[in-house]
Every structure is written in C-alpha cells, then in structure tokens.
Structure 1
Amino acid sequence: MATIDIKAMRRFINSPVDFTTHIIGATPDAAQRAIMESVAKNQMTSVRSGHGIGKSAVESWLVLWFLCTRPYPKIPCTAPTDHQLKDILWAEIAKWIRHSRTLENVIVWTQERVYLKGHAKEWFAVARTATKPDALQGFHAEHILYIIDEASGVDDDRFEPVLGSLSTPGAKLLMCGNPTRLTGFFHDSHTKNRAQYSTFHVDGRKSRRVSQDFINTIIEMYGENSDVFRVRVSGDFPKALPDSFIPMEWCERQSEADRPTREPSRIDIGVDVARFGDDSSVIAPVRDKTLQDEPDIYHHNDTMEIAGYTIAAIRQYASIETVREIYVKIDCDGLGVGVYDRLREQREEIQNSINDKRREAAEQNDTDPVPFLLEVYECHFGGEGGTVSPDDPVEYANSTGVMWGTVREALRKQTLVLWHDDRQITQLSNRRYSINSAGRIELERKEAMKKRGIQSPDIADALALAMYDPVQSDWSIDF
C-alpha cells in the first residue's frame, strides 16, 4: 500500500507555496501566494475577490497541502450549494491530484471525501453543503482546516461550530468569496471584525487570470458604478442601496426613439394575467422583437375574457399580410393557466382558419398565400435561470431575470423601441436587483416592490414575456 512520507513532507509544513510548486507542480501568482502564506501563518484568513481570480485553485492547493503535511488532519469544506462545492472546488481538487504523480499514488478522491490511502476515517477532507444545519459540526482533531467557499452565501449559524473548534491551536479557517452581501459573518470579517483576521481584497482588474474582455463586457453591460461590476470584477461589497436593474434613461431614450414603419413578419405577444384585485391583466404585442405596440390593459382577471381579448389580438395581427408567425407567451404561475389552456385548445382552429382565409384571398388575387404559424407557450416567472445569450458574462438566478434581462439587453443595444407609457417606464426602471451568493443576478420580488410603494410591474412583465424565447424540450410531442 502506498504511503506518504510525513517526515519528508514536514519541510513544507509552513510552506504551502513550495508544496504547490514542488509536489503539485503548479505556479501560484502573487495574490495566490500571499493568501497561501497567510493561511500558513494565521489562524483565520478571509478573502474577498472578483470573479475568476483563481480562488478555487488556491483552496484546492491548500487542502492538499494541509492533508499531506500534518498527521491525521481533518479538512471540512463547505459552500452554499452542491454546484459550488462539488462541481467547482471538489473537481478542482481532483484535477490537481491527477496533475501530481506523488499525490496520485497516495491520495484517494471520492465524491464525498479526499483521504490518505488506508485512512479514510481519520485523515481526510470532506465536502459538506452549507444548506445542512450540521454541515460543520462534529469535527475534532489536533489539525483542522475549515474551507468556506463563497462564504458570503453561508448562513451565520453554520459558523458557530467553526468558532468553537478554532479554540484549538492547530485549527485554521479560510473564507473566500465574491462579496455579495452587506451583512453576515463574511461581511463582518472585512468590516467590524477585521482586526481578528488576515484579510485580502483581490481586484479582478489586477489579476492576470481575469481577461480584459470579461471586464470590458461587464463595464459595457452594467457600468463601473454598478453592483455587478463591484461584486464580479473589483471584489467590493455592494452599495448600501440596490441598483435599478434597468436604467431609467434607457427606458426614456427608447420610448422616444423613431418608430420603424416596415410591416412585420413576426409578432410576439406577452400575456400577464392579474392575480390580485389591484393588479392589471396586460396583453403586450411586439413586432419583430424591435417595436412594441400599445399594450392592452384590463383591470380584472376573468380568464375567459382575457383569452378572448388575446385571440382578438392574434386575429388582428394575422390580418397583416406580411405576418408569418405569432408567438403567444402566457404567465401560468397563477390565473394565467386558464388563459393558456383556452388558447391551446383553440390554437389549431385559429391557425387553420387564418390559413384558409389567406388561401382564399390568394386565389382571388392569383398570388401565393403567406403561410401562418401560431404557437402558444406556457411560461413561469421564477423558473430555471440562466443567461440571455451564450456570451453573457453573468447568469440570472431564475427565469424572471432571464426575461427581464432580455428586455434590458434590447434597451441597452437600442434594438427595441418602446411604446411611450410613463407607467411602463416607472415599472421597468424601479425594479432593483442584487447579486446572490453564487454571483447570479436576482431581481427584487414583487412583494418587496409593493412595500416600497411600487405597483406590481404588470406592463413590464408582459413586455418581458413578449421578448422572451422559452426553452422547449426537444422530445416534446404535439398531440
């Protein structure tokens, strides 16, 4: 059985940088070296940084260093989500074990723990997601290293057992993450409790690992004064007051822009159905994803009436000879499901009747008919998140962000002309956003907006639905 030569490794006990260079075969940059040296010298180290500066590599190198230079160590590692812990940090550890013939012979990597061969129960690093209340409890050893990744997103009560263990002289703590929150244990380590820690601030603009293209894209899309830039690039905490997701000047500019006069080939209709008495149901049509027509606003939530109004809008736009396709997207989180069901029921009949009329007209005029397609989509605010486009540098926490992000991008690039409506400008420009613990954009909830005196953004939501292209499963079958 392969074993590790502890005596040989003890020369690296206070030199994680040398261990990384000679045993792992990696070359840390200046910021990474400083962080590693701090962990060797200090009990508690806290690092706030922008995105992509190589902190996962630092954490993985330190796990392997601590595992190899101390007898019977325990290294609890945690992060807010399984993705952050298993897909990023744990995968990074596996990569560097494979990179070193020495480590590959003596270290065993599994999905849950990394350990010295023959010592799975007593000489290990373990992955524990921070969503579990006891994630960091029950670890007792002379040598303990706690690794807290994306620490800004870890609840404060998860740190209580860590503080208890740090009374042991051989215990150490490393916290790293984007500084996404203005409260909590991680924030305090850089503010009111800073004297207790060795702290680092790594600005992505000063890291050779962060591409200038990434920085330029963030600046172009969100601005240097935005929280996205502060958190994702400069590694600073957000401002005290949240940013508006869509700047008012963009909304005003695109509400006053010249309206194109060409006939459309495609119509997208967003339907937001009121769920509460003071909300409005809105039908928002957009031509060719470039020109918003006047939305229809109804102050009631009778689903059959809203379905009827939507069908009337479909037939009105289908009467434009150049229109080849209409896509209707309905918010189905509440009463909208009734509107969706009715339109799905009527879809084929509506489509066929429009095509019949076009064929009759074409025969009379001795021309070829323009074929017509009608699609009806079920949409959900708060569904799965993602990015607006493959090259978008920031992900959204849920589909609300993706929908609104689509509108934001169109306004930023000036490809969408809005119907001039002060209510819509107010709704679009008054919704705030924050950066969650995973570095994803999260839009303000409607309940929070109402507490600030902002009405439900029904018109803006309908526009977001119209501009959104729902992801459809390849295997779905139309009956």
Structure 2
Amino acid sequence: MVTKDEKKKLISEIIAYWSKDWNKFVRDALCARLDREQQAIIESVQHNPMTAVASGTARGKDFVAACASLCFMYLTPRFNEKGVLVGNTKVAMTAPTGRQVKNIMTPEIRRLIRAARAKFPFCCPGRLVADDIRTDYEEWFLTGFKADDNATESWSGFHAANTMFVVTEASGISEIVYNAIEGNLQGNSRMLIVFNPNITTGYAARAMKSERFAKFRLSSLNAENVVKKQVIIPGQVDYEWVKDKVINWCSPIQQTDFNEGEGDFNWEGSLYRPNDLFRVKVLGMFPKVSEDVLIPYEWIEIANWNWQELQADGFIPAKSCKLGVDVAGMGRDNSVLCPRYGNYVPQFEVHQSSGRADHMHVVGMTVPYLKKKGAKAFIDTIGEGAG
C-alpha cells in the first residue's frame, strides 16, 4: 500500500518530469493532440518571455493558447518541503470583447481541465468559477476578462513569482491595454498573443517584426487535416474548405511569376497567387492592399470589431435612421438596405428578386423605416432605384 508521503513524492516527480517538457504535459495530462507547429508554440512559451502567433482560420490558435495557459498555471508554482506555496503563479487571459473570453477562451480551458482530471485527478487543482480557476491559495489563480481601455486598473496586482498574459484576437487590443500588460512583465513572466492578421498596424502587427518576440505563423495549408485530406484533429480546418478557397480566392500563375513574398504557393502541383482574404484567412499573412482599393480590408475588420463590441453591450441607438437603398435590377444582384443610426449600422437587409425587377417589394421593405421620426431614405436612382 502506498503511503501518503510516497504519494506526494510520486506526484512531485511527475510534475517535475512534465516541467522539463511542457508538450509532455499537454499530451499526457491534458490529453490534447497538437500538430508540430502548435508544439513549437508550446515550446516557445516554455522558454521565451514573449511569443506572437499569426494564424489562419480554424488553425487552433485559441486551443494552443489554452494549453499554454494551463502549462504555466500548473507547472510553474513552487512549494517547499512542507507543501507551502513559496513561488506563486498568476495567469490572465483577455480578448477585445467579453463574448470572446466567455465563449471562446473559457470553454477551451474547461474542456482541457475535465480531460486532465479524468486521467490524473491530482494535476489540475482548483475550482472553475465563471472565467476563473481558483485554488486554495489566493495568490495562485487563472482569470479571464475583457480588455477595457477604461479599466486598466484590472491589470494591477498581477505581480507574482510567475506571471503570464494570454491575449487572443490580439490585433483588436489597444496600445493602452498592452502598456498596462507590459508594466507587469517582471520576474518569470510570459506574454502570448494570438490573432488573425487582419490589419497591418498596431501592437500585434509590430510584434511579428520585433526581435522581442518569438514569432510563429499558422498556415491552414499546413494543417494536418488538410495535408492528409481527412479529419485527424476534430475542429481544425479541413481539406475541402481550403480547396474551395484556393479555387475562389486565388489566381493561377506561372513559375516565372512565382514570388514567395507575395504569398504565392504550390497547391497540388499548381502555383497560385492569393488575394487578401486568402492571405489572412488561410495563410495567416497580413493583407497586401493595392492602391486601387477604395475601402481597405483592415477598415472593414475594425468596423466589425466595433460592431461586435456594441452588440455584446446591448447597444440601442438613439439617433434617427438614415437609410441607404441599393435597388437591384433583373440580374443576379441583391437589393440591399443599409439603416444607419449616427455611425452605427445594426444590420443589412437583403432581398434577392430571382432575376427580375421587384421594385414594389423593395418599397415595402423601405416604408417601415420612413414611418419613424426623423428618418430619411437615400435611394440609388442611377440604376434601378428610379423605379
């Protein structure tokens, strides 16, 4: 029969074994399967103070960030011979919106914790409370919260023997928040930022050029599900999705035109040049906006982030409606209504007339807006709007 002291010694030896190689903890304890590129990110976080990851869609950036968070949470605290905590650990996870923390980051943490406890009940102590992991020690915890420019005091008190800051959708975080985070990077500290490279400016974009950061790019072309043309890792981007995007978002090129700096790539024996959507969503590269583009891709991304923030906060506009109406004719185009309240657009209304002019239906969509006080409609009359 194993005594209590022998059990403590065995647990201590197992933790020490995992501490030497965090990927073994991810594999053995968290029961997570990471591909080689994701494993390299875990190794970087183990050894480098600052790590930046630009990623394509569904490439597992948030999952690997959750794995890294739990590695730091459970492999860095230090206890003396009497079991007293002498080197505490604090982990903070954040995102541009509370929704991203609650619906993306926290579920990944909970799923990994449940898997670990089912296999090794001793390795992930603590209570799961809202977006936190609370242990029996007040100075040893993991917490998640929305990054808020008006609440930088949230970052105060994160001084500890071991501190880690994990930022998802990092290109949507302001310089104010990053300044607050960097003020806590002391002692044995880590900073991991993961993001889709939607915009070419800001802290996250600079991180991919900075010598301070270990830099990684997760391309969907290299995803295991795509390379092997079958689902090996559930939830990861798959072959059919990437194939569709190659067809619709890329242009075939000749060998003489091939330029890796443009994002050109080889797909199943043919060479392609990507558009900006493919660069961002598949290759994990920044957009390369051409001079003849009216609205840069990054402006659209910023507008989307602002919209998501307002939606999450339950925003209700107070200003009167200014309605833009683009009326389709007899082709495949849609008629689109854009209601604007100040600088806020709640949604677009779209009508497909199935190849025929359908003016009266669009009138019926427009009239309810005009019945509200102060509303005005602006109709494109150059084309079909005159109807």
**TM-score, normalised relative to structure 1:** 0.52
- 1:432 corresponds to which residue? none
Kindly indicate whether residue 24 of structure 2 is the aligned counterpart of residue 18 of structure 1.
Answer: yes
CA separation of 1:97/1:240 partners in 2, compared to 1, >3 Å: closer, same or farther?
A: same
Kindly indicate whether residue 327 of structure 2 is the aligned counterpart of residue 284 of structure 1.
Answer: yes
Match of 1:146 among 156, 165, 168: 165
Q: Which runs of 5+ in 2 are unaligned?
A: 1-6, 78-87, 225-235, 251-272, 296-319, 359-376
Letter aligned with residue 237 of structure 2:
V
Letter aligned with residue 283 of structure 2:
S
Kindly indicate whether residue 180 of structure 2 is the aligned counterpart of residue 161 of structure 1.
Answer: yes
Quick check: 1:151–1:177 contact (8 Å CA) kept in 2? Answer: yes
Q: 1:214-363 maps to which residues of 2 (within 5 A)?
A: 214-223=241-250, 225-241=274-290, 243=293, 284=327, 290=332, 333=340
- 1:130 corresponds to which residue? 147
Counterpart CA distance in 1 for 2:283 and 2:130 is 33
CA separation of 1:189/1:108 partners in 2, compared to 1, >3 Å: closer, same or farther?
A: same
Give the secondary structure class of the aligned counterpart of 1:106.
coil
- 2:133 corresponds to which residue? 114
Q: Which runs of 5+ in 1 are unaligned?
A: 246-272, 293-327, 336-379, 384-398, 420-455, 467-479
Kindly indicate whether residue 197 of structure 2 is the aligned counterpart of residue 179 of structure 1.
Answer: yes
CA separation of 1:228/1:460 partners in 2, compared to 1, >3 Å: closer, same or farther?
A: farther
Counterpart CA distance in 2 for 1:221 and 1:381 is 31
Give the secondary structure class of the aligned counterpart of 2:25.
helix
Deviations 1:2-54 (A, max 9, x none): 99945541322242101011111222110110000011111111010101111
Deviations 1:113-152 (A, max 9, x none): 1133x23x32111111113532433311010011011111
Tell me how far 1:108 sits from its aligned partner: 2.0
Give the secondary structure class of the aligned counterpart of 1:26.
coil
Quick check: 2:325–2:338 contact (8 Å CA) kept in 1? Answer: no
- 1:27 corresponds to which residue? 33
Deviations 1:305-352 (A, max 9, x none): xxxxxxxxxxxxxxxxxxxxxxx98665479xxxxxxxxxxxxxxxxx
Aligned residues: 289
Deviations 1:262-301 (A, max 9, x none): xxxxxxxxxxx995xxxx98683656x8588xxxxxxxxx
Overall identity of the aligned pairs, in %: 22
Quick check: 1:14–1:40 contact (8 Å CA) kept in 2? Answer: no
Kindly indicate whether residue 81 of structure 2 is the aligned counterpart of residue 54 of structure 1.
Answer: no
Quick check: 2:325–2:337 contact (8 Å CA) kept in 1? Answer: no
CA separation of 1:457/1:17 partners in 2, compared to 1, >3 Å: closer, same or farther?
A: farther
Kindly indicate whether residue 188 of structure 2 is the aligned counterpart of residue 170 of structure 1.
Answer: yes
Counterpart CA distance in 1 for 2:108 and 2:336 is 41
CA separation of 1:150/1:156 partners in 2, compared to 1, >3 Å: closer, same or farther?
A: same
Quick check: 1:281–1:458 contact (8 Å CA) kept in 2? Answer: yes
Counterpart CA distance in 1 for 2:326 and 2:283 is 41
Letter aligned with residue 136 of structure 1:
W
Counterpart CA distance in 2 for 1:158 and 1:130 is 7
Letter aligned with residue 131 of structure 1:
D
Counterpart CA distance in 2 for 1:205 and 1:33 is 17
CA separation of 1:6/1:144 partners in 2, compared to 1, >3 Å: closer, same or farther?
A: farther
RMSD over aligned Cα atoms: 4.0
Match of 2:108 among 79, 87, 92: 92
Give the secondary structure class of the aligned counterpart of 2:91.
strand
- 2:302 corresponds to which residue? none
Give the secondary structure class of the aligned counterpart of 2:28.
helix
**TM-score, normalised relative to structure 2:** 0.64
From the CA coordinates, give the structure whose radius of gyration is larger: 1
Q: 1:378-389 maps to which residues of 2 (within 5 A)?
A: 382-383=345-346
Deviations 1:186-234 (A, max 9, x none): 100112xx21111011111111232122223334554463322111111
